[in-house]
Structure 1
Amino acid sequence: MVTVSPPKSDASASWAYALQLPHDRLAPRIARVTLRAVLAGHGLTQLNDTAELLTSELVTNAYRHSTGPATLRLRTLGGARLRLSVWDANPHIPPPFDKRPGLLHPVPVEADGGRGLFLVCHYADAWGGYPLGDDLFGRGGKLLWCELGPQGADSVKAAA
């Protein structure tokens, strides 16, 4: 008889999680709690503070600017690097995600919003967004994403 063992679980193993979120004001909190559990389970708690900030801002943006559900996806990129992405049904790419990285302009003092995604761009190692065409289920919308690793994770702690 042949026995097959699953690969050992460690921080370098590849994994991905997707969390479906209803259009609910509690969605950012639920996303943060889930994120912390996933990072703890994979030994990546050094990413907690920055990843929680980035997740909260991306999910909050989806809740505030879309009328339907959202999806949070967490994925390793090798080692201790993490990619966070949030899909929502609104195809509009908001500033500063509508610009190329490196071309950020500060949010005007009198602006009512726009600081959350600016924080994502500031604390993430890489970020971007793109509109999605309609698929077979009529789900278009957009995907906003960001990446971070251990070096970027230290920046939120240093700023506190």
Structure 2
Amino acid sequence: MATVSPSWAYTLHLPHDPRAPGIGRATLRTVLAAHDLLRLAPTAELLASELLTNAHLHTRGPYALRLRAMETGRLRVGVWDADPRVPSGFTGEGALVGVPPVEAEDGRGLHLVRACADSVGASVLRELGASKGGKLLWAECR
């Protein structure tokens, strides 16, 4: 009889602190090692790093790293923040516009996420009861 791995999910709440993206990446590596998914580490870490850094740079409050097992060998890396504005083109459909010039020092993060992820998406979360609203940007890799 075949066994099925139970699904799992982790959420790491992070303060608005410049060290938080690094702490998120370290936590991601620990979770992947615990679930025998270290082969996903290079891509998953890039996805988490870009999403966490964007949350830190473009929002004012805390944010959270969410890791969720999808089907076998597939991981969803998500980052929640309290700002409900979804970056243009980050809906999983269509291309991002405004590729930065070659000499630009920033502006490539979401382009990297879109290029390296198998799929991406965004959810706007409304204020409901205990919810904090905001948005969740996610990217999947396998």
Fold conserved (TM > 0.5)?
A: yes
Structure 1: gaps of 5 or more residues: 1-7, 150-160
Distance 1:81 1:100, change over 3 A: closer
- Distance across 2 between alignment mates of 1:24 and 1:100: 29
Q: Percent identity?
A: 53
Are residue 21 (structure 1) and residue 14 (structure 2) matched?
A: yes
Matched, 1:48 2:53: no
User: What residue number does 2:96 align with?
Assistant: 104
Q: In structure 1, what is the equivalent of residue 67 of structure 2?
A: 74
4+ residue segments displaced more than 6 Å: none
The higher radius of gyration belongs to 1
Aligned residue runs from structure 1 range 118-129, under 5 A? 118-129=111-122
> Is the CA contact (8 Å cut-off) linking 1:70 and 1:87 kept in structure 2?
yes
In the alignment, structure 2 segments of 5+ residues that lack a partner are none
User: Normalized per residue, which structure has more strand?
Assistant: 2
For residues 12 and 32 of structure 2, what CA distance do their matches in structure 1 show? Answer: 14
User: Counterparts of 1:137 and 1:113 in 2: how far apart (Å)?
Assistant: 35
TM-score (norm 2): 0.88
Partners of 2:92 and 2:73 lie apart in 1 by 25
Alpha carbon RMSD of aligned pairs, Å? 2.0
Cα deviations by residue, 1:115-158 (Å, 9 ceiling, x for unpaired): 10110011000001132211224622111001010xxxxxxxxx
